[in-house]
Amino acid sequence: MKFEDVAVLGVGMVRFGAHKDRSAAQLAREAGLRALADAGLSFRDVGEAFVGYIAPIQMLGIKVMKEFGLTGLPVTHVENASATGLIAFREAAHAVASGRCDVAMALGLDKMTELARGGRGGRGIGRDTIDSVILPAAYFALWAMRRMHERGTRPEHFAKIAAKNWNHGARNPLADRQSDHEVTAEEVLASYPVAEPLTAMMACPVDDGAACVIVGRRELARQLQPGRAVVRPVASALQTETYTPGHTFLGPVVGPASMTRDTAREAYEAAGVDPADVSLALVHDAFANEELEYYELLDFCPEGDAEKLVEDGATRIGGRIPFNTDGGLIARGHPGGPTGLAQVHEIVLQLRHEAGPRQVENARIGLAHLVGGGSVCTVNLFERD
Amino acid sequence: MGAARRVPIEAGFFTIPEARGEPPRLLGSRCRSCGEHFFPRRAICARCLSDDTEDTRLGPRGTLYTYTYVHVPMFGARRAESGGYGVGQVDLPEGPRVQAVLSGGPGDFRIGMPMELDLETLRENRDGEEVVIFRFRPLDAAST
């Protein structure tokens, strides 16, 4: 897919966390109005909307959109598990790229605190299925244990990544977790064990939230906000699992690691971008060991060198390739549908050079990656014009 | 008084032998066109897309590829003392890598060890039947 004529016009989100007193619709309205204000547009200008949420509530997206007004616009519900937000963005960008509309809205909303409480047993997919006993944490822990066996990776490596993301989150007023002190790897290792070798501080929290991205025809960006840097999507790749020997069908939350490598290479090729030119990356760090794997799978270092990136601090803000500058899923939070749109929010601020205390110097190209259960992987590249 | 009848948590994934000490087998598929094996059963080969697949029984032995120990009580655990549980992926000689719950404590597993299938009772249903799920346990533990 080519995005030559598409730009991000506006971004907006609410702080992720537990929002007991506000409905998903209220959160979504606030995020949407912030994005419209950022774009310099009114809701009447929106030609089409894609609403992403994981909550199994019929008609939710269409009802929520009525919060903004009843203009008759086409609305579509998008759901791809944890990758939902980026796929809502991808569909909105497609709608503009295809000429179907001049301006499209991607809106993500979810209240995971309510999902976590409700349902049968409160987690998993129910009591009477063969794989209901295996938690997502277990799957990513299996990945971590194999890595430790093959590469000599130590739990300290995962703890350092988690601590980095907690400390990035402290620089982001919209992050759920904002530690009042510099988080250390020792503190992360000492937190409650979830699934060997992962601890509670290496895992993302349960969040509520909403985030919105407005995309539109490229020339609108300069007309609406003259003098502001224009950020454009340059590739959006989406893949599902490709069969490989030893493929595990029952139980895993996401498919083989190679899914991220294949999807990233498709995106790099489509955009003509060299991984060495990427300024920052936002990835699916639901558990800290995932981020370590993605250093290699996104081609930021050769296989076997990811531990060295951690030891050198290369993925901190100020390092060679900063990862999860807004705190990532671990600190910014992971409400489900809004997560991918929060990643786009961060990349757009970074590429406009409006990211304040967490600004990556001379940021020019940003990468947003998510995996989702089922499973899917998406890699999206953005450039500053 | 005979032992209670055993029923699977979900039908179509594993056998329940008559004799209690005998290991179960996994219900899988083999592609007649390319020879690839799969667990669980599937109608269309994931490798060559042929629909010429046949049912086959897999296991009961394999090799532990990776494992973890989850530090929260297992959902539906029958034994009150179970404070956590092992989860692993086991490579079967036929090819499939099977993810399953493991029998044993936090220190009982190492990558590469031989494993054998086993049945574990999760609970009793309303008809007084034992609801069972398949697991893998270290083969050493089975022989002692």
What is the full DSSP assignment across A19-86? Answer: -TTS-HHHHHHHHHHHHHHHHT--GGG--EEEEE--S--TTHHHHHHGGG------EEEE-BTBTHHH
Q: CA of A2, closest CA in chain B: separation in Å? A: 31
Count the domains in chain B. 1
In order of A70, A167, A188, the CA distances from A332 in angstroms are 32, 10, 16
Amino acid (1-letter code) at residue B51: D
The domain defined by A6-117+206-224 carries CATH number 3.40.47.10? yes
Q: Is there a domain that residue B40 lies in?
A: yes
Q: What is the pLDDT of residue A137?
A: 84
User: Measured between CB atoms, does B79 come within 8 Å of chain A?
Assistant: no
User: Measured between CB atoms, does A240 come within 8 Å of chain B?
Assistant: no
Q: What is the pLDDT of residue B75?
A: 55
The better pLDDT of the pair B143, B33 is held by B33
Torsion of CA A366, A370, A376, A377, to 10 degrees: 30
Which residues of chain B have a CB within 8 Å of the CB of A124?
75
pLDDT tens digit string along B1-44?
457 899 999 999 999 999 988 999 999 999 999 999 999 999 99
Q: What is the pLDDT of residue B74?
A: 62
Identify the bridge partners of residue A193 per DSSP, sorted by sequence position: A199
Q: CA of A138, closest CA in chain B: separation in Å? A: 6
CB contact under 8 A, A138 and B67: no
Q: Is there a domain that residue B1 lies in?
A: no
Residue B64 tokens read as 């532990």
User: Measured between CB atoms, does A137 come within 8 Å of chain B?
Assistant: yes
Q: What is the pLDDT of residue B2?
A: 58
Which residues of chain A have a CB within 8 Å of the CB of B69?
195-196
User: Measured between CB atoms, does A251 come within 8 Å of chain B?
Assistant: yes
Tell me the average pLDDT across B104-132: 93
CB-neighbour burial class of residue A235 (10 A; exposed 0-12, middle 13-18, buried 19+): buried
Which residues of chain B have a CB within 8 Å of the CB of A251?
99-100
CB contact under 8 A, A195 and B66: no
Cα A152 to Cα A183: distance, rounded to the nearest angstrom: 24
For A80-102, b/e burial (b = at least 16 CB within 10 A) is bbbbbbbbbbbbbbbbbbeeebb
Q: What is the largest CA-CA distance in chain A?
A: 58
Are the C-beta atoms of A358 and A325 separated by less than 8 Å? yes
Which residues of chain B have a CB within 8 Å of the CB of A139?
99
pLDDT tens digit string along B85-114?
899 999 999 999 999 989 999 899 999 999
DSSP string, A353-371: T--GGGPPTT--EEEEEEE
pLDDT in tens, chain A (385 residues): 568 899 999 999 999 999 999 999 999 999 999 999 999 999 999 999 999 999 999 899 999 999 999 999 999 999 999 999 999 999 999 999 999 999 999 999 999 998 766 543 333 334 567 776 667 788 899 999 999 999 999 999 999 999 999 999 999 999 999 999 999 999 999 999 999 999 999 999 999 999 999 999 999 999 999 999 999 999 999 999 999 988 999 887 788 889 999 999 999 999 999 999 999 999 999 999 999 999 999 999 999 999 999 999 999 999 999 999 999 999 999 999 999 999 999 999 999 999 999 999 999 999 999 999 989 999 999 999 9
Are the C-beta atoms of A221 and A7 separated by less than 8 Å? yes
Confidence of residue B47 (pLDDT cuts 50, 70, 90): very high
Q: Where are the domains of chain A?
A: 6-117+206-224
User: Measured between CB atoms, does B66 come within 8 Å of chain A?
Assistant: yes
User: Measured between CB atoms, does A123 come within 8 Å of chain B?
Assistant: yes
CB contact under 8 A, B91 and A124: no
CA-based radius of gyration for chain A: 19
Q: Is there a domain that residue B108 lies in?
A: yes
Nearest CB among B39, B70, B85 relative to A137 is that of B70
Q: Which of A78, A79, A77, A74 has the alpha carbon at shortest distance from A100?
A: A74
* Residue-number span of the structural domain to which B122 is assigned: 6-143
Mutate to test the interface with A, among B75, B102, B126 (most CBs of A within 10 A): B75
Q: Is there a domain that residue B29 lies in?
A: yes
CA A196, A201, A207, A210 torsion-angle sign: negative
In order of A68, A197, A311, the CA distances from A29 in angstroms are 7, 40, 42
Cα A193 to Cα A165: distance, rounded to the nearest angstrom: 19
Could you report the predicted ipTM of this complex, rounded to two decimals?
0.92
Q: CA of B40, closest CA in chain A: separation in Å? A: 7
CB contact under 8 A, A248 and B13: no
Cα A337 to Cα A327: distance, rounded to the nearest angstrom: 17
Helix (H) or strand (E) holding B121: strand B114-124
User: Measured between CB atoms, does B133 come within 8 Å of chain A?
Assistant: yes
